[in-house]
Amino acid sequence: MAVDKDTVARIAKLARIRIPEEQQEALTGELTEILNWVEQLSELDTEGVEPMTSVVAMTLPQRQDVVTDGDCADKVLKNAPEGAHGFFAVPKVVE
């Protein structure tokens, strides 16, 4: 599978990573190589094998429905570049 320059630009945009034009060409090669490497896995015959979703032999632990957390707005907002009246304040986003 080969990745072209448009795909690199699109993936970068979806991930909100700015990749200058001149670096995109090099990345097409690198990403293509990674994908080809992973693609070797498809040489294995997995017919009739259930996909493995976890490597640990346990099920999802569940917790009781009890309020044990929160009430720490100061901690939550501590690293916010900007806050006001207990809210995060961000550049206006209006649809």
Partner 1 sequence: MTIIEGKTGPWEMVIGLEVHAQVIANSKLFSGAATAFGAEPNSQVSLVDAAMPGMLPVINEMAVEQAIKTGLGLNAKINLFSEFERKNYFYADLPQGYQISQFLHPIVGEGTIILDLEDGKTREVGIERLHLEQDAGKSLHDQHPTMSYIDLNRSGVTLMEIVSKPDMRSAEEAGAYLRKLRSILRYLGTCDGNMDEGSMRADVNLSMRRPGDPLGTRTETKNVNSIRFVQQSIELEARRQVAILEEGGTIDQETRLFDASKGTSRSMRSKEEAHDYRYFPDPDLLPLNVDADWVESLKKDLPELPDAKKQRFMDEFGLPVYDAGVLVADQETAAFYETIAKGRDPKLAANWVIGEYFGALNRTSGANLTNAPVDATKLGGLIDLIADGTISGRTAKEVFEAMWDSGKDAGAIVEEKGLKQISDTGALEGVIDQLITDNPGQVEQYQGGNVKLIGWFVGQVMKATQGKANPGMVNQLLKKKLD
Cα-flanking dihedrals φ and ψ of residue 28, to 5°? -60, -45
Residue whose CB is less far from partner 1, 44 or 66: 66
Residue from 37, 42, 68, 81 in contact with partner 1 (CB under 8 A): 68
Residue from 18, 37, 42, 92 in contact with partner 1 (CB under 8 A): 92
Residue 75, interface with partner 1 (CB under 8 A)? yes
Dihedral, CA of residue 31, residue 33, residue 37 and residue 43, to nearest 10: 110
Q: Which residues, 34 to 63, sit near partner 1 by CB under 8 A?
A: 53-54, 56, 58-63
Q: Rounded distance, CA 63 to CA 60, Å? A: 10
